[in-house]
Structure 1
Amino acid sequence: MRSRLPLLAIFPVTVLTIVLATPFVLGDHPVRWESGSALPRIVKDGSKDSTTPADDSSGTTPSSSAASSAADTLKVAKPWKAGMAQWGVQLYWEEEKKKRSGTFIEDQARKHAKYLIGLGANSVSLSFPFFTEGITSDELSAESKTPSPERLQRVLKVFEDAGFRTTLRPIMDEASLDPPTGWRGNIEPASRSAWFASYKKFLTPYLEVAEEEKANTFVIGTELNSLEGDAGWDALVASAEKTFSGEVAYDANWDNYVSGRINMPVSHLGVDAYFPVKVADTAPVETLVEGWNDWLDKKATGPLPNLTIAEAGIGAMTRAYHAPGDFYTKRAVNPQVQANWYKAVCQVVQERQMQGLYWWSIWFDDDPNTPPDDKVASRLDFAGRPQTEKAVKACFTSDYAGPGTTAQ
């Protein structure tokens, strides 16, 4: 039986106003565009077959600064099992070249798998865009930048064969929503029933792929603040569960997580955490940990064994602590700011005994072994930044086993 996720918080009006306004002003929902909760009902053990698609590329894959010789086998060292911490990355796939072959995308998937294995990851979430025509539109669709179910399946299989815990995560693109004031969290479809019907039509082929490849989780919605609690979710989730036997989840935005009531008929809740911590760039990790705990305590104190940090990240730039999800701005590069934030997040996840975390993000078409070009790249990019990679690897290879255990 599905469990509801009633998450309540009482906030002073002044603080609530600031929290709710921040995402629209600072950009707390960082999908790059170019122009506690109820216990999980279904958890798989992560066992996979070992068949890997043949690599017919004549090129070679650069070795990662974070990778070890163990990565050459393209097998996760310690595959995820039920109860283990999820240490993962959001791999964002926006189709950039229509004619790129299946071989190309499989090679890219192997390159990313090798890189993530070198970091010690055991999980990966494949995020991909779908589109709407505007704030009031009730039509949702795949467009040229949306990977087809068939192509997504080929990539998913690479990660499954390598032993990763896998998640599929469609996320609404915001280019048509007049960001940053308009975003996926404040859409108001003219007809909600039509919106849910359109969404079901879009999702079903991807749910079928998730079931065929035995993915662990399918995220039915991400950061859709204005639609949370709508009765339309009941039928949509029920339909999804008939198609997909894994865990159906929802990822809430950080503002609603602490200030609102998340009422969704899903098995698991994640949170995209980009709240501000108003400290100087020189703040030590301990101060950042305090900032995280202060924020989490607004919802609940103590361990949070049913919560996953579905997105965490920050720009490698000055003053990023004041707006961790600000991907519109490119201030002076400061790798230490990013690295310290990553260290703090990992420490909080372990001390609060959460289910795990996923870093935002790596762009699917990028080479994760190449340092980002800071003239054009998002400051949130972490692959190729040695200080941050070191922090990620230390986190993913820590002694924390999972919820209910004690961080070492």
Structure 2
Amino acid sequence: MRNLFMLLISLFFCSCSGQKSKINGISFVASPKEINDTNIDPVVRVNANWAAVMPFGFVKNLKEPSVIFNTERQWWGERADGAKRTIELLNQKGIKIMLKPQIWVWRGEFTGNISMDSEEDWNTFEKSYEDFIMLYAKLAQEMKVPILCIGTELHTFVQKRPEYWSQLIQDIRAVYKGKLTYAENWDQFANAPFWDQLDYIGVDAYFPVSDSKTPTIEEMKKGWEIHKSKIVALQGTIGKPVLFTEYGYRSVHYTGKEPWDSNRTNGNVNLEAQSNALSALYGEFWNESWFAGGFLWKWYHNHDEVGGEDNNRFTIQNKPSEKLIQSLYKDD
């Protein structure tokens, strides 16, 4: 009887500790200028225990076979020195890091459509991308970063050049000893060919979950059913935990209809829709044993100057959803 009691106690504490280990993350937007520890305090107050740090590389168009990165023309936080200092500041406050180097195409064209027209251009682009990622793989190792994300929303590149990616992962592991993931878009996550080589199945979780102007939490949870079943199926096949490398909703009407939409149109502010959408997503996933957690899109360094109740963008800063996430992240 005593052995049964001890087993039950052990299972109770294991389940609790499993909850505590969830990644309650924010996506920390690169700052134009150097920041200090006061810029990290709001991250602590929202009870985040992880942050994605996102240095950038740039390509001129979808056919350009070179990545421009770590140049003086970039914002401070987009370069290696800025990323390193940002990691240091977050670590000092007890925040763990996923380093997530990303590509930006001029004029905001979708990275998933990057594709070269010749083998020569593919080879040039692949070498350039390798240089970009290896710079940050070495930084991740130097800074003892727990997770490195090796790419974001690059499905054409990934699916057309699988041998390249398989070799790149081996090269990264030769210099970086932490965990690896890749951030694939919500509609392509099942098609990445290398999940078995990584430690997390990374999904940018902008799934359409409701056509309503102000959907209820229950309506959005219902909207998750078909998507969640696909996530569960892939997770069962691959056997790796699922990480939402990005998740979030704008505070705007119809926020669950096309959550990926980042147009610059103002107005149609809907704070309730944002809060309901985040509540539904959290309720659907955070208690699942196979789910590692996620990184909320997105969080700015200048907390007092961003967001607010007239803002319809993704950030939760200075909106009711900030208090919601503070509560949800605390309870986890």
TM-score normalised by structure 1 residue count: 0.68
Query: What is the match of residue 316 of structure 2?
Result: 382
CA distance in 1 between counterparts of 2:81 and 2:19 reads 28
Does residue 125 (structure 1) correspond to residue 36 (structure 2)? The answer is no
Secondary structure, counterpart of 1:300 in structure 2: helix
How far residue 213 of structure 1 moved from its aligned partner, in angstroms, is 1.0
1:24-76 per-position Cα deviation (integer Å, ceiling 9, x unaligned): xxxxxxxxxxxxxxxxxxxxxxxxxxxxxxxxxxxxxxxxxxxxxxxxxxxxx
Match of 2:230 in 1: 298
Within-5 A mapping of 1:295-374: 295-300=227-232, 306-328=241-263, 329-353=265-289, 354-364=291-301, 367-370=302-305, 372=307
Q: Is 1:223 matched up with 2:153?
A: yes
Structure 1 residues 165 and 284 mapped into 2: Cα distance closer, same or farther (>3 Å)?
Answer: same
User: Deviations 1:214-244 (Å, cap 9, x if unpaired)?
Assistant: 0011111111010224211122222211221
Deviations, residues 108-148 of structure 1 (Å, cap 9, x unaligned): xx234311211111111112321012111210111422532
- The correspondence of residues 59-70 of structure 1 with structure 2, limited to 5 A, is none
The 1:85/1:163 distance shift into structure 2, 3 A limit, reads: same
Partners in 1 of 2:26 and 2:178 — Cα distance?
Answer: 19
Structure 2 CA distance for partners of 1:371 and 1:186, relative to 1, 3 Å: closer
Q: How big is the shift at 1:152?
A: 1.5
Shift in alpha-carbon separation, 1:301–1:220, aligned structure 2, 3 A: closer
2:29 to 92, 105, 109: 92
Q: Superposition pairs for residues 143-292 of structure 1, below 5 Å?
A: 143=71, 144-145=73-74, 147-176=78-107, 179=108, 182-190=109-117, 191-229=121-159, 230-258=162-190, 260-264=191-195, 265-292=197-224
Give the CA deviation at 1:83.
8.0
Q: Note the residue ranges of structure 1 that are not aligned, 5 or more in a row.
A: 1-79, 401-408
CA distance in 2, matches of 1:352, 1:225: 27
Structure 1 counterpart SS, 2:219: helix
Q: Which amino acid aligns with 1:174?
A: V
> CA–CA distance in 2 between the matches of 1:303 and 1:331?
39
Aligned 8 A contact 2:249 2:277 in 1: yes
User: Aligned partners of 1:371, 1:134: CA distance in 2, in Å?
Assistant: 30
When residues 112 and 288 of structure 1 are mapped into structure 2, their CA distance, relative to the original with a 3 A threshold, is farther
Q: How does 1:28-47 map to 2 (within 5 A)?
A: none
Higher fraction of helix = 2
The equivalent of 1:391 in structure 2 is 324
Alpha-carbon shift at residue 269 of structure 1 (Å): 1.8
Counterpart residue type for residue 300 of structure 2: W
Matched positions, count: 301
- The structure showing larger relative contact order (alpha-carbon pairs under 8 Å, at least 6 residues apart) is 1
After superposition, the Cα gap between the structure-2 partners of 1:314 and 1:148, relative to the gap in structure 1 and judged at 3 Å, is same
Task: Provide runs of 4+ in structure 1 moved above 6 Å.
Answer: 80-83, 302-305
Aligned-pair CA distance for 1:257: 1.9
Q: Deviations over 1:154-192 (max 9, x none)?
A: 11111122221211101111324xx5xx41001102422
